[in-house]
Structure 1
Amino acid sequence: MSEVTEIDPAVASRGSGTIPVYDPSTEELIGEVPDSDQAAVDAAVARARETFEFGVWRRLPAKQRADVLFRAAQIIRDRTDELAVLEGRDNGLNVAAARHIITVALDVLMYYAGWVGKVHGQSSDVVSDGVLGHYERYHNFTQLEPVGVVGLIIPWNGPFFVAMLKVAPALAAGCSAVLKPAEETPHTALKLEEIFREAGLPDGVLNVITGYGETTGAALTAHPDVDKVSFTGSTEVGRLIVQAAAGNLKRLTLELGGKSPAIVFDDANLKKAIPGVGMGFLAGSGQNCSCTSRIYVQRGIYDQVVEGLVRFAKKLPMGGSAEPGSLLGPLVSEKQRQRVLGILNDGVAAGAEVATGGKAMDRRGYFVEATVVTNTTPDMRLIREEIFGPVGCVIPFGDEDEVLVAANDTRYGLAASLWTEKLGRAHWFADELRAGQVWVNCSIAADPAMPISGHKESGWGGERGWKGIEAYLTTKAVYISH
């Protein structure tokens, strides 16, 4: 057993039991966190509610609130290496990739810290019929107010980054929050609470609880004193959250599953497209909701692209979070590895062909080889379901009309990438693809100022940009007669 991660004693007391946390690279126990029960959830929500009602955060001058967020950003910057190691041990990312996760999370926090004090409503002076039958003059204005106590639930892929996508705008808006990380990857979320407390955030404004989704997460989403839930995870769990939120008609932001297409036309720059498409389905070992794992390639270049993707997949070094030079890591758990292998085996049994990979690696850790699959059919699980593993399916197509129908033939609509040198085609496909974000000649691009919002069953609402902070605000209209 490797050294157990230390948890703040105040945090460690928040549950009736503990949950073991394992390093997916080595299968070793690296820590234990509280299994928060209903009483722990109630206590966390009560702390958040008290701070919100007393205004210890939302009523502070904007400069003071912004200063807290900027101080937290500086602490994160100073501790990037420490946080990267912790993130990597939780989910198997190599340290360089984990450091990148911390850096882009820092960018998100800096972006939303800049919004504090810049959120405002509108005003107007009008003359209107009054209730007594004569004209009255009104000075009208709207004000944007924090929605209240928010429940934030994050997945095990990129947990520090996804946590910041929710925590930063929620705090910038003036909300109080309860954050629940995935039970597999809780440590950087717990550190995040410590960082904000060190930066001067009043106690109780951000509360991190750990536990299983079906118990702790369910208690949080159904809690009658939570005004909004923001959830990132599977579409299936998203449906359960919708049902739970109906009790008090909570506001919801849902960033759910994806089965995103990449489309490679015969005019594409293949020196750029092949590695771009390769990382589009292999980034994070495929554990990214925006991964473009359905790869449509025009027939004239199909064989060339398949061969190129096979070479690319074979040359990427795979290893654990502490192994120098590794680019691809393990899956988060044995359960997830078996799910990925099960979908692959179902496809092969139905006639799909594995061009490279397709097996678990013969070593410690939950590794699956980088895999390229051909000869699929549209009804296979490989094409219909979100795999969340290092698997890309390469599918030939003839013309634009054919590939547009195929690309949109999914219940998801999170992202899409398009590879072409024709600007007109790029604009046309950007209009016609039913996806919340479209990348042209790139993959997995992101910016804090640009929103992400799922179409179809990929989610409700959006994150990042103005949409991100707007999701934690509510509008009040005020009329003043004069």
Structure 2
Amino acid sequence: MRQIYVRGSWTGAASGEAVDVVDPATEKVVDQVPAGAAADVDSAVAAAREAFPGWASTAPAERGKLLRSAADLLQARAEQVARTIATDMGAPYGLALKVQTLMPAGVLADHARLAEEHGEAETRVGNSLVLREPAGVVGAITPWNYPLHQVVCKVAPALAAGCTVVLKPSEVAPLAAYALAEIFHEVGLPAGVFNMVSGRGPVVGEAIAAHPDVDMVSFTGSTRAGRRVAALASETVKRVALELGGKSANIILPGADLGTAVKAGVANAFVNSGQTCSAWTRMLVHRDLYDEAVERAVDAASAYTVGDPFDPETRLGPLVSAAQRDRVAGYITRGQEEGARLVAGGGLPPGPGYYVEPTVFAGVEPGMVIEQEEIFGPVLSIIPYTTADQAVEIANGTPYGLAGAVWAHTQDEAVAVARRLRTGQVAINGGRFNPAAPFGGYKQSGIGRELGEFGLQEYFELKSLQL
């Protein structure tokens, strides 16, 4: 069994109990991590509190130098880390390398730059000097679907700002976080600046959220769990950043390149086996083009080969666990019961592994459960609309507001519709994801932003000196 990382050293957890790490493609146990306890959180928080004054006073350029060294080492180990991610959460190896590993390395490097450029910003406002100071001890609680990227999205800006960190990675897919902890240790991050306690959310996560010596909690996960984190954090009035669920709409307007828009929409909905909070899981198509769009979506879905994450032909790996597979299968059954038409997939391939076929529903109407709730699997719902106003109303008609897309004949037409969407980011005619732009949601998709300079700001307090 592995250990937890506290005060610059690997040490055994208080409980001595283990959590099995299961390869979702084979259903075999590949590793074990400690099931941490509240006492382990106490130790990690105490270490972070002790290290905070020294790290906060470290020159931003020095903090940036250490982050850059970590980014370089992660880049050098990218293939090894990608294999780890493909094994413990099931992402196809190509995705695990490019998106799950190399993108986080880039985010680390970007925050090294941000530390150097923005670490000591001061602003004069009349007779006041406004200072930015690190928020303090940050508790970071991260999910299994992007088990390295989501860690880096929290830890990198926190460290760049001068905060110290206690991380709880998901116990379902924790091994990439262990690889990052080893990198931080090797590059010489001072003891106590970064600490990691593995374990289950109701124990370790709740202990972090409720801890009186944690100044800020940054959480990514389900909206239900986010409510619990916020409630616990409110008892000590600590700052909270939440990146939660989504049910993003992909609006295809008349005049858009329908073939490109549908193909890209299917790809986005199925990336990471649909286990992506910002996935465009609702495709909205004008009624005049609806039947053609459904045909194109079914054709595109047929190209998503389900299989071994290490097979180069695989485009859709397993879901992360049996529980997640069963949850998705339940939604597929519910969609059929509600009257939606299953036009592609929907089955569970035989044999070992938590697989679900790429699934497309047509005849989906606003208000259906599969149209309203986050499924977190390879399930796409195609919804007809009559006017652009109706499309906007449908797109905005869920509790979520994380991402989305608009396709139109011209960029100006797409932007005009995108401005009306209550969501945190919108891709215009296939605009690429930008890891330096702010990422986060409206409504029940969360509070605050991650990535780039906007994400860095979450980890500062402001102080005014009246001169």
- Which TM-score applies when normalising by structure 2? 0.96
Alignment of 1:51-90 (within 5 A): 51-53=51-53, 55=54, 57-90=55-88
1:156-193 C-alpha deviation (Å, 9 max, x unpaired): 11110111101110000000001111110101111111
Q: Is the 8 A contact 1:276 1:442 kept in 2?
A: yes
**What is the Cα deviation at residue 449 of structure 1?**
1.8
Secondary structure of 1:145's match? strand
Query: What is the match of residue 19 of structure 1?
Result: 19
**What residue is the counterpart of 2:109 in the other structure?**
110
Equivalent positions of 1:183-262 (< 5 A) are 183-262=171-250
Aligned-pair distance for 1:361?
1.0
Distance 1:83 1:143 in 2: 38
2:56 aligns to what SS in structure 1?
coil
Amino acid at match of 2:76: D
Look up the match of 1:41: 41
Q: Is the 8 A contact 1:5 1:30 kept in 2?
A: no
Indicate how the Cα distance of structure 1 residues 147 and 397 shifts in structure 2: closer, same or farther if over 3 A, else same. Answer: same
- Identify which of 447, 457, 460 aligns with 2:444: 457
Letter in 2 for 1:359: G
Do the aligned partners of 1:281 and 1:392 also contact (CA within 8 Å) in 2?
yes
Whether 2:163 is the aligned partner of 1:175: answer yes
Deviation at 1:230, TM superposition (A): 0.4
> Is the Cα–Cα contact under 8 Å of residues 294 and 383 in structure 1 kept in the other structure?
yes
For the residues of structure 1 that align with 2:5 and 2:202, how far apart are their CA atoms? 25
Partner of 1:133: none
Give the greater-gyration-radius structure (CA): 1
Aligned to 1:144: 132
- What is aligned with 1:98? 96
Q: SS at the partner of 1:457?
A: helix
Moved more, 380-389 or 9-18: 9-18
> What is the DSSP-based 3-state SS (H/G/I as helix, E as strand, rest coil) of the residue aligned with 1:115?
helix
Per the alignment, residue 359 of structure 1 pairs with: 347
1:365-384 correspondence to structure 2 within 5 Å: 365-384=353-372
Name the amino acid aligned to 1:434: R
Task: Check 1:95–1:5 CA distance in 2 against 1; reply closer, same or farther (3 A cut).
Answer: farther
Q: Is the 8 A contact 2:3 2:13 kept in 1?
A: no
Written as runs of structure 1 = structure 2, the 5 A alignment for 1:388-467 is: 388-442=376-430, 445-467=432-454
Consecutive unaligned residues in structure 2, runs of 5 or more:
none
In the alignment, which of 285, 290, 315 is matched to residue 302 of structure 1?
Answer: 290
Q: Deviations over 1:263-312 (max 9, x none)?
A: 11221112321221111210111100001111111112211111111111
In 2, Cα distance between equivalents of 1:426 and 1:41? 48
C-alpha distance in structure 1 between counterparts of 2:20 and 2:174, whole Å: 10
**Partner SS state of residue 116, structure 2:** coil
In structure 1, how many angstroms separate the alpha carbons of the residues matched to 2:60 and 2:367? 53
Q: 1:6 to 1:369 in 2, by over 3 A?
A: farther
Instruction: Name the aligned partner's letter for residue 145 of structure 1.
Output: E
Instruction: Report sequence identity in percent.
Output: 40
Counterpart of 1:227 in structure 2: which amino acid? D
Q: Secondary structure at the match of 1:188?
A: helix
The SS at the match of 2:437 is coil
Q: Which amino acid aligns with 1:217?
A: G
The CA distance in 2 between the partners of 1:455 and 1:125, in whole Å, is: 33
Q: Name the CA distance, whole Å, in 2 between partners of 1:205 and 1:6.
A: 17
What is the identity, as a one-letter code, of the residue corresponding to 1:223? H
* CA deviations over 1:50-92 (Å, ceiling 9, x no partner): 1013x1x222223322111111111001100000001111110
Runs of 4 or more off by more than 6 Å in structure 1?
4-9
Instruction: Work out the CA distance in 2 between the residues paired with 1:217 and 1:43.
Output: 14
Secondary structure in structure 2 of the residue aligned to 1:114: helix
3-state secondary structure, aligned to 1:304: helix
Distance of 1:249 and 1:5 partners within structure 2: 34
Contact 2:3 2:12 in 1 (8 A): no
Count, aligned residues:
461
Q: CA RMSD in A?
A: 1.6
Deviations 1:316-370 (A, max 9, x none): 1111222232111111100011111111101111211110100111121000000
- AA at the equivalent of 1:252: V
Q: 8 Å contact 1:93–1:320 — kept in the other structure? A: no
Secondary structure of the corresponding residue to residue 262 of structure 1: strand
Contact 1:22/1:28 (8 A) holds in 2: yes
Which residue number in structure 1 is paired with residue 147 of structure 2? 159
- Corresponding residue SS for 1:301: helix
- Cα pair distance change 1:323/1:409, threshold 3 Å: same
